[in-house]
């Protein structure tokens, strides 16, 4: 028996009540934005309508909502007809000399068809990987809609085209529209909704509305996907980008996304937590490693979908320029700051690339708002990440190993570099030796050679030179001359036992050559000590061999000079 005070409401009545609360008041826009900031849209049936308001798909004047919506839908229909064509249907309307499958003419529909097929194939590969844990995105109809929207956007923006990651910005929009359409259809089965609700939530135009919302979102996000260099002013800014000893993130192309993540870490993180900033710099964790993905995808891979929608509520509500992204970025770092400071490179990398779950996503947004404007936003309750770090250490190690494996194709070949230096040194001292009887390599295996012969007196006008060895001296050598030269070419050592009659300029050349080797040895040791990622590419054994060789060779050269 139903309680007399219990009043049931029809689903459509609940929808109409929520609609009135959100959109019927005179100051409805402020109330709608407040609902987005406070997280009250999590269970709303009109989240998609709110997002259209935030992204300027709908105007503030409610009387224009229906006409504006129909205008966007007609525009997408025209775009789709223009770019998604079937050359078979237009075969009789064009010249067959131009419009045939073998034609390479720019105006050929078949030529355009094959180019579009390649682009659609690239988009399809990413669409197939969209939210693999959700059955909704595995439906073929949904995948077709995602592919068509991204393809039309790419053709409408030929300079940018399609970039990997755009599908992850489109997917939540498509999902929110689908949820609102399903709720509206269920509520309108037994009642008659208002005309505005019928038009705005018509499921037949699911794809059209998603394209309108995505294209306006990309007006802000487009620079984050662009690979074009940012124009740099002449003068001070240009000088700062070319200073010596600059970090890798400072000396690369001035792309907008790189500039943005560098500014976040170098200015905002440094301002709010100098200790964390210094720790990340000490570990040489550049913000591009993790920050480009955070910003481009609007944190799409860092949170579960339901929490991600709450984050997007706040981002869209705050401003269409997505200014709050910078402070959400900082708040995420501060949430795990104790774990980052207490961790090494691998564990920090695991934490940043596999962000830990957050119990209350709304508290993170309140932290971001407080960081941006502490005067007008209350200080949130302190929250800290507490979890076993072994998991993130393992994930970080996996990332490092994958990075090393991907760069194995072109490792630093020290043997090749050292061979070049050794050959250069041999060329420097080549004029000194007419023969090899007076040299002895510095190595573990020493080839015995007779002492150098005294030079034959010559006129003063002729420069001194070494005399050729006699036949008896050649017989006394344990190995033939050709074999001796072959051993020297394979050795990492250099002949340093010079005859005392050599000219002083040759000694200077030797000293200059050893100075070059000193610098090379210092570079090798520095790489081993301060860059752990190069331990697999640069052998400690090689470094020690070069050190012993340089010291012993230079000492012998000094004695013989």
Residue 512 and residue 519 in contact, taking contact as beta carbons nearer than 8 Å: no
Residue 530 has a CB neighbour count (10 Å cut-off) of 9
158-167, long-range: CB < 8 A, 24+ apart: 160/222, 160/225, 160/226, 161/119, 162/119, 162/122, 162/123, 163/225, 164/126, 165/225, 165/293, 165/296, 165/297, 166/126, 166/218, 166/225, 167/123, 167/126, 167/127, 167/130
Separation between Cα atoms, residue 210 and residue 72, nearest integer Å: 10
User: Do 189 and 272 fall into the same domain?
Assistant: no
Average pLDDT for the chain? 74
User: Do 216 and 259 fall into the same domain?
Assistant: no
Separation between Cα atoms, residue 497 and residue 441, nearest integer Å: 8
Residue 553 scores a pLDDT above 60: no
Q: What is the pLDDT of residue 390?
A: 61
User: Do 389 and 344 fall into the same domain?
Assistant: yes
Residue 183 scores a pLDDT above 60: yes
For the segment 336-381, what is each residue's pLDDT rounded down to a tens digit?
999 999 999 999 999 999 999 998 899 999 999 999 999 998 888 7
Residue 455 and residue 464 in contact, taking contact as beta carbons nearer than 8 Å: yes
Residue 357 and residue 307 in contact, taking contact as beta carbons nearer than 8 Å: no
Alpha-carbon 98 to chain mean position: 43
Q: What is the pLDDT of residue 83?
A: 84
- Residues β-bridged to residue 441: 495
Separation between Cα atoms, residue 242 and residue 283, nearest integer Å: 23
Residue owning tokens 């200073």: 243
Domain that holds residue 140: 42-91+106-220
Residue 386 and residue 354 in contact, taking contact as beta carbons nearer than 8 Å: no
Q: Is the dihedral of CA 526, 532, 538, 543 positive or negative?
A: positive
Taking the C-alpha atoms of 202, 205, 211 and 214 in order, what is their torsion angle to the nearest 10 degrees? 20
User: Do 49 and 154 fall into the same domain?
Assistant: yes
Residue owning tokens 């012998």: 556
> Which two three-digit tokens encode residue 49?
């309508």
- Residues β-bridged to residue 530: none
Q: Which of 200, 220, 240 is the last residue of a domain?
A: 220
Q: How confident is the model at residue 448 (pLDDT cuts 50, 70, 90)?
A: very low
Report if residue 239 sits inside a domain: no
Total domains, the chain: 2
Environment class of residue 143 by beta-carbon count within 10 Å: exposed (0-12), middle (13-18) or buried (19+)? middle
User: Do 68 and 210 fall into the same domain?
Assistant: yes
More confident residue, 538 or 294: 294
Separation between Cα atoms, residue 440 and residue 495, nearest integer Å: 6
Separation between Cα atoms, residue 137 and residue 178, nearest integer Å: 11
Side-chain-side CA neighbours of 158 within 13 Å: the count stands at: 3
CATH number of 362's domain: 1.10.472.80
> Which two three-digit tokens encode residue 316?
């869209």
More confident residue, 27 or 216: 216
Instruction: Specify the pTM.
Output: 0.66
User: Do 52 and 188 fall into the same domain?
Assistant: yes
Report if residue 363 sits inside a domain: yes
User: Do 185 and 269 fall into the same domain?
Assistant: no
Residue 301 has a CB neighbour count (10 Å cut-off) of 14
% of the chain beyond a pLDDT of 90: 45
Residue 514 and residue 553 in contact, taking contact as beta carbons nearer than 8 Å: yes
Q: What is the pLDDT of residue 387?
A: 61
| Size of the chain, expressed as the number of residues it contains | 561
3-state secondary structure of 495: strand
The answer for residues whose C-beta is within 8 angstroms of residue 93's C-beta and 6 or more apart is: none
Residue 69 scores a pLDDT above 70: yes
For the segment 478-510, what is each residue's pLDDT rounded down to a tens digit?
444 444 444 333 333 344 444 444 445 555 666
Q: How confident is the model at residue 327 (pLDDT cuts 50, 70, 90)?
A: very high
Q: What is the pLDDT of residue 188?
A: 81
Report if residue 126 sits inside a domain: yes
User: Do 118 and 207 fall into the same domain?
Assistant: yes
- Sequence-ordered alpha helix ranges (H) in 267-389: 270-272, 274-282, 287-296, 305-318, 324-335, 337-341, 345-353, 361-372
Report if residue 310 sits inside a domain: yes
User: Do 47 and 177 fall into the same domain?
Assistant: yes
Report if residue 122 sits inside a domain: yes
Residue 217 and residue 173 in contact, taking contact as beta carbons nearer than 8 Å: yes
3-state secondary structure of 441: strand
User: Do 56 and 129 fall into the same domain?
Assistant: yes
User: Do 183 and 325 fall into the same domain?
Assistant: no
Q: What is the pLDDT of residue 505?
A: 54
Report if residue 82 sits inside a domain: yes
Q: How confident is the model at residue 16 (pLDDT cuts 50, 70, 90)?
A: confident
Q: What is the pLDDT of residue 314?
A: 96
Report if residue 179 sits inside a domain: yes
Q: Which of 361, 379, 403 is the last residue of a domain?
A: 403
Helix (H) or strand (E) holding 543: helix 540-560
More confident residue, 528 or 147: 147
Report if residue 259 sits inside a domain: yes
Q: What is the pLDDT of residue 87?
A: 56
Q: How confident is the model at residue 187 (pLDDT cuts 50, 70, 90)?
A: confident
User: Do 283 and 167 fall into the same domain?
Assistant: no
Average pLDDT estimate for 251-274: 86
Q: Which of 173, 200, 220 is the last residue of a domain?
A: 220
């Amino acid at each position: 028996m139903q309680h007399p005070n219990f009043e049931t409401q029809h689903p459509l009545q609940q929808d109409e009540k929520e609609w009135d609360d959100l959109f019927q008041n005179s100051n409805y826009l402020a109330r709608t934005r407040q609902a987005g900031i406070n997280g009250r849209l999590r269970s709303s049936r009109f989240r998609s309508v709110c997002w259209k308001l935030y992204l300027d798909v709908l105007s503030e004047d409610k009387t224009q909502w229906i006409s504006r919506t129909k205008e966007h839908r007609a525009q997408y229909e025209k775009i789709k007809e223009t770019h998604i064509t079937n050359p078979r249907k237009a075969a009789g309307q064009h010249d067959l000399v131009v419009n045939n499958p073998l034609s390479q003419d720019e105006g050929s529909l078949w030529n355009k068809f094959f180019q579009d097929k390649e682009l659609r194939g690239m988009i399809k590969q990413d669409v197939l990987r969209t939210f693999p844990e959700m059955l909704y995105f595995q439906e073929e109809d949904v995948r077709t809609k995602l592919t068509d929207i991204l393809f039309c956007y790419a053709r409408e923006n030929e300079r940018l085209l399609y970039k990997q990651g755009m599908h992850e910005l489109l997917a939540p929009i498509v999902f929110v529209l689908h949820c609102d359409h399903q709720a509206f259809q269920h509520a309108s089965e037994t009642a008659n909704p208002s005309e505005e609700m019928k038009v705005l939530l018509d499921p037949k135009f699911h794809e059209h509305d998603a394209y309108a919302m995505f294209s306006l979102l990309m007006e802000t996000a487009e620079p984050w996907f662009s690979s074009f260099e940012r124009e740099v002013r002449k003068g001070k800014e240009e000088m700062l980008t070319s200073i010596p000893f600059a970090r890798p993130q400072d000396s690369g192309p001035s792309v907008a996304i790189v500039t943005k993540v560098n500014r976040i870490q170098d200015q905002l993180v440094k301002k709010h937590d100098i200790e964390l900033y210094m720790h990340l710099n000490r570990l040489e964790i550049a913000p591009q490693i993790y920050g480009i993905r955070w910003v481009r995808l609007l944190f799409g891979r860092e949170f579960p979908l339901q929490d991600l929608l709450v984050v997007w509520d706040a981002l869209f509500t705050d401003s269409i320029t997505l200014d709050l992204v910078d402070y959400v970025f900082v708040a995420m770092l501060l949430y795990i700051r104790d774990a980052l400071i207490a961790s090494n490179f691998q564990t920090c990398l695991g934490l940043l690339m596999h962000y830990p779950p957050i119990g209350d996503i709304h508290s993170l947004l309140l932290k971001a708002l407080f960081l941006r404007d502490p005067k007008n936003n209350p200080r949130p309750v302190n929250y800290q990440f507490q979890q076993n770090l072994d998991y993130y250490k393992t994930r970080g190690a996996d990332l490092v190993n994958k990075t090393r494996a991907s760069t194995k194709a072109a490792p630093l070949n020290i043997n090749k570099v050292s061979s070049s230096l050794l050959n250069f040194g041999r060329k420097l001292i080549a004029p000194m030796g007419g023969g090899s009887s007076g040299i002895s390599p510095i190595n573990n295996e020493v080839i015995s050679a007779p002492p150098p012969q005294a030079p034959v007196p010559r006129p003063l006008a002729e420069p001194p030179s070494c005399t050729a060895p006699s036949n008896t001296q050649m017989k006394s050598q344990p190995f033939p001359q050709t074999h001796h030269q072959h051993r020297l070419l394979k050795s990492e050592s250099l002949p340093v036992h010079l005859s005392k009659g050599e000219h002083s300029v040759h000694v200077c050349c030797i000293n200059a050559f050893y100075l070059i080797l000193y610098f090379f040895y210092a570079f090798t040791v520095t790489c081993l000590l301060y860059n752990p990622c190069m331990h697999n590419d640069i052998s400690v054994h090689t470094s020690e061999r070069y050190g012993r060789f340089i010291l012993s060779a230079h000492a012998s050269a000094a004695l013989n000079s």
